[in-house]
Amino acid sequence: MDELYTRVRATASAAWLWLIIDPVSKAIPVLHVGGRTKDDAFALVHDLKERLDPACVPAITTDGLRSDF
Protein backbone atom coordinates (compact mmCIF):
# COMPACT_ATOMS: atom_id res chain seq x y z
CA MET A 1 0.00 0.00 0.00
CA ASP A 2 1.43 3.36 -1.02
CA GLU A 3 0.42 6.79 -2.19
CA LEU A 4 1.83 8.94 -4.99
CA TYR A 5 1.61 12.71 -5.40
CA THR A 6 0.61 14.07 -8.80
CA ARG A 7 -0.89 17.10 -10.46
CA VAL A 8 -3.94 16.68 -12.67
CA ARG A 9 -3.24 18.39 -15.99
CA ALA A 10 -2.02 21.95 -15.49
CA THR A 11 -4.29 22.72 -12.55
CA ALA A 12 -2.93 24.08 -9.32
CA SER A 13 -4.62 21.38 -7.26
CA ALA A 14 -2.72 18.29 -6.27
CA ALA A 15 -4.06 14.76 -6.11
CA TRP A 16 -2.86 11.68 -4.29
CA LEU A 17 -3.10 8.30 -5.99
CA TRP A 18 -3.44 5.53 -3.41
CA LEU A 19 -2.55 2.00 -4.58
CA ILE A 20 -2.48 -1.53 -3.32
CA ILE A 21 -0.26 -3.74 -5.48
CA ASP A 22 0.02 -7.54 -5.34
CA PRO A 23 3.78 -8.19 -5.02
CA VAL A 24 3.66 -11.51 -6.89
CA SER A 25 1.42 -10.79 -9.87
CA LYS A 26 1.90 -6.97 -9.86
CA ALA A 27 -1.88 -6.65 -10.19
CA ILE A 28 -3.53 -3.52 -8.81
CA PRO A 29 -6.78 -4.75 -7.24
CA VAL A 30 -7.77 -1.29 -6.02
CA LEU A 31 -6.75 2.35 -6.33
CA HIS A 32 -8.14 5.61 -4.97
CA VAL A 33 -7.62 9.23 -6.05
CA GLY A 34 -8.04 11.83 -3.34
CA GLY A 35 -6.12 13.65 -0.66
CA ARG A 36 -3.51 12.42 1.77
CA THR A 37 -5.87 11.93 4.69
CA LYS A 38 -6.97 9.17 7.00
CA ASP A 39 -10.35 9.07 5.25
CA ASP A 40 -8.65 8.39 1.90
CA ALA A 41 -6.56 5.58 3.43
CA PHE A 42 -9.71 4.07 4.95
CA ALA A 43 -11.55 4.34 1.61
CA LEU A 44 -8.76 2.39 -0.10
CA VAL A 45 -8.70 -0.39 2.50
CA HIS A 46 -12.49 -0.70 2.65
CA ASP A 47 -12.67 -0.90 -1.15
CA LEU A 48 -10.11 -3.73 -1.06
CA LYS A 49 -12.14 -5.51 1.63
CA GLU A 50 -15.21 -5.43 -0.62
CA ARG A 51 -13.26 -7.00 -3.52
CA LEU A 52 -11.66 -9.88 -1.59
CA ASP A 53 -13.12 -13.23 -0.68
CA PRO A 54 -14.48 -13.04 2.91
CA ALA A 55 -12.04 -15.79 3.99
CA CYS A 56 -9.01 -13.87 2.64
CA VAL A 57 -6.79 -12.11 5.18
CA PRO A 58 -4.27 -10.00 3.24
CA ALA A 59 -0.86 -8.95 4.56
CA ILE A 60 -0.43 -5.26 3.78
CA THR A 61 2.85 -3.38 4.16
CA THR A 62 3.17 0.42 4.09
CA ASP A 63 5.81 3.11 4.33
CA GLY A 64 4.56 3.99 7.83
CA LEU A 65 2.37 7.01 7.08
CA ARG A 66 0.22 7.58 10.17
CA SER A 67 -2.98 7.60 8.06
CA ASP A 68 -2.24 4.04 6.96
CA PHE A 69 -2.95 2.77 10.46
pLDDT higher than 90, residue 43: yes
Q: What is the pLDDT of residues 2-29, one digit of tens each?
A: 888 887 776 667 888 999 998 889 999 9
Report domain extents, the chain: 2-68
Task: Indicate the helix (H) or strand (E) that contains 46.
Answer: helix 38-51
Q: Has residue 66 got a pLDDT over 80?
A: no
- pLDDT value for 59: 78
The answer to whether residues 67 and 40 touch, using CB atoms and an 8 Å cutoff, is yes
Q: What number is the average pLDDT over the span 30-34? A: 92
| Entry pTM | 0.74
pLDDT score, position 68:
53
